[in-house]
Amino acid sequence: MATSAHKSIDPIPNIPANAVWAANGETIAGGHGPGNGSHQLDSPDGLFVDDDQMIVITDVGNHRIVQWNMGDTNGQIVAGGHGPGNRMYQLNEPTDVLIDKETDSFIICDSLNQRVVRWSRHKGTSQGEILIDNIRCWGLAMDDQRYLYVSDTTNDAVRRYQIGDKNGILIAGGKGKGERFTQFSDPKYLFVDRQQAVYVSDGSNYRVMKWSKGATEGIVVAGGKGRGDASTQLNYPYGLFIDTLGAIYVGDSGNDRVMCWSQDAKQGTIIVGGNGRGAGANQFYAIPNIPANAGWAANGETIAGGHGPGNGSHQLDSPDGLFVDDDETIVITDVGNHRIVQWNMGDTNGQIVAGGHGPGNRMYQLYEPTDVLIDKETDSFIICDSLNERVVRWSRGKGTSQGEILIDNIRCWGLAMDDQRYLYVSDTTNNAVKRYQIGDKNGILIAGGNGKGDGFTQFSNPKYLFVDRQQAIYVSDSYNNRVVKWNKGTTEGFVVAGDKGRGDASTQLYYPYGLFVDTSGAIYVGDSGNDRVMCWSQDAKQGTIIVGGNGRGAGANQFYGLGALSYDRQGNLYAVDWKNHRVQRFKIK
């Protein structure tokens, strides 16, 4: 839910302090599923609303800018739309846009091309021109003097430019990634007021910062109390708008709500959303459906590890489990190093967030952790500490040096959590899946537990799990070479992928491992023994290879043993390539 509008200084009405908004929104652009039709959007992000209520949208997944006039059922492509690329007629995941009225042009943050470009609004324009290059930009703003402000996510900084000057000056941050008042951690969207104070959604610090003109450090004006959903907290703030009274409107992406923080307020109020994640008129949802006809790049890019096995901050050793957060923070179980490592997108080094003190059962140690997830309610990591036969929780707060035991005496492997915060754990010793309320060490048996076997009430070495919105659980039943689905409350499961014996035919799996199910019910399986990722559409009798399947190896289109799978909100695929000691990302086409 990234919304940032009116980023240049246009006449903006005062919003009354006691203003309220309708609980239900109306869809004015898109809403017809992901796609590239003129009536569709695919993972839109940035937004600009002009005085005449003409709406300009960064249609990220389609690599284009779309203009939508109020009341229209179809948009008009005004920049890009020729697939991802770096030619001057192309864009690659544009994240923000504004209109420069002086030149009657669009200024666009062309994020993955690491440039800011300008496209004329005149009819017949077929390509843009580079204004700024070599910057991993995300957000844009312009003041009434036509200075351009750009957030730089690589250098955690905000820079200001005169149009025509490619160098600019540093005005905020740039002191390395961190949480000090001189620093940012993943700055996203911007807003500049009439005094040239810049407001920044400081994503991974869960706060909004204000830097007055000429200041050497910023002040927190919203959030800054850690990740959470309390009225004093934010969970990955994104879109940003400031009214003339100084009230701050924040797209609180991880909590799926828009909050308003009055000037100098210590807490915010929810003005829309906050009704759980979903597609209702009063809801938001950060992760799109993956189109049925989606494809992925054949070659992956290494986003973590890939420097051979080792314990350096740039290395992994036999990674296995994986969790990708809304902000594309990647959390990895670095099994051979007995630690959990967090990797921010674009970084060359990871950060140890749990363990890393050698194998052992002390509370500051882990012993071959196999899976991890983030519990946003408690802002903590929940970890399957496999060879210690326990599930542990480590706070994400700075300075955490040890964990606490949530569940013990279980040879766990996979973890999942539903939207009611029930925790699901696969038990490889008892060939079962159990469900727990946080704080309850006993749990209840919900699948398997009837001995090792291939009956529909049994598993043989259950590994990773996925839980859908109906609390149905999907299990990679590895030695049975199948994926099994157990609906809530049932006494047996049914096969949804594989179960035709071990093999590499389209109807078969060979030691299935990582698992993900999209909102259409399509099942994505890390087919580890075949070094490929397969997709099985709902009720399909066979799967299709989406990446890999090119033999075992270390090439960009190969794997050497697959671990966990995940997707980000744009539909990019993440796969743990455990014997190559790396995590690969395959971009959705």
Q: Is the dihedral of CA 450, 561, 570, 271 positive or negative?
A: positive
Do 460 and 324 fall into the same domain?
yes
Based on the fold, state whether residues 350 and 274 are members of the same structural domain.
Answer: no
Report the alpha-carbon distance of residue 96 to residue 59 in Å, rounded. 9
CB neighbour class for 517 (10 Å; exposed up to 12, middle 13-18, buried from 19) = buried
pLDDT for 289 equals 57
What spatial distance separates the first Cα and last Cα of the chain, rounded to whole Å? 21
Region of 336 please: left (phi>0), alpha (psi -120 to 50) or beta: alpha
Convert the pLDDT of each residue in 474-513 to its tens digit.
Answer: 999 999 999 999 999 999 999 999 988 999 999 999 999 9
Q: Determine what percent of the chain falls in helix, strand and coil, rounding each to the nearest 5.
A: 5, 45, 50
Same domain, 218 and 334: no
Structural contact between residues 404 and 393, judged by C-beta atoms closer than 8 angstroms: yes
Tokens of 509: 């799996």
Quote the pLDDT of residue 71. 87
Whether residue 33 sits in one domain with residue 2: yes
CA dist., res. 556 & res. 560, Å (int): 11
The DSSP 8-state label assigned to residue 15 in this structure reads: P
Contact 583, 319 (CB under 8 A): yes
Position 16 in a domain: no
260 plus 328 within the same structural domain: no
Weakly modelled stretches of the chain, pLDDT under 70: 1-13, 277-280, 282-289, 327
Q: Give domain status of residue 142, yes or no.
A: no
- 373 falls within a domain: yes
Q: Which residues of 350-382 are buried (b: 16+ CB within 10 A; e: fewer)?
A: beebbbbeeeeeeeebbbbbbbbbbbbeebbbb
Whether residue 580 is contained in a domain is answered as: yes
Query: Are residues 125 and 272 both part of a single domain?
Result: no
Range of the domain at 102: 1-7+29-134
Q: Is residue 250 part of a domain?
A: yes
CA dihedral sign, ordered 450, 453, 456, 458: positive
196, 320: one domain: no
- For residue 12, the model assigns a pLDDT of 58
Strands 207-211 and 219-223: antiparallel
Q: Do residues 320 and 575 touch, judged by C-beta distance below 8 A? A: no
pLDDT in the model for residue 9: 47
Domain boundary among 251, 286, 321: 286
Last residue of a domain, one of 286, 318, 351: 286
Contact by Cβ (8 Å): 312, 350: no
Question: Do residues 378 and 519 share a domain?
Answer: yes
* Per-residue exposure over 317-337, b if at least 16 CB sit within 10 Å of its own CB, e if not: bbbbbbbbbbbbbbbbbbbbb
Sign of CA dihedral 448, 451, 455, 457: negative
Residue 166 resides in a domain: no
Q: Are residues 224 and 355 in the same domain?
A: no
Per-residue confidence (pLDDT) for residue 288, from 0 to 100? 47
274 and 305 together in one domain: no
State how far the alpha carbon of 270 is from the alpha carbons of 15, 186, 221, 273, in Å. Answer: 16, 24, 16, 7
336 and 467 co-located in one domain: yes
Sign of CA dihedral 256, 261, 266, 272: negative
CB 210 within 8 A of CB 219: yes
Q: What is the CA radius of gyration of the chain?
A: 24
Q: How far does Cα 278 stand from its chain's mean position?
A: 16
Q: Is residue 35 part of a domain?
A: yes
Shared domain check, 245 and 346: no
Single out the residue in 106, 134, 162 at which a domain terminates: 134
Place of tokens 């929810």: 270
Domain CATH code at residue 336: 2.120.10.30
Taking the whole predicted model, whether its pTM rises above 0.85 is answered as no
Q: What is the CATH number of the domain that holds 280?
A: 2.40.10.500
Residues 310, 298: Cα–Cα separation, whole Å: 27
DSSP codes joined into one string, 46-88: EEEE-TT--EEEEEGGGTEEEEE-TT-SS-EEEEE-S-B-SST
| CB neighbours of residue 41 within 10 Å | 26
The answer to whether the CB of 541 falls within 8 A of the CB of 507 is yes
Q: Does residue 295 fall inside a structural domain? A: no
Tokens representing 564 are 């966990």
Number of structural domains the chain divides into: 3
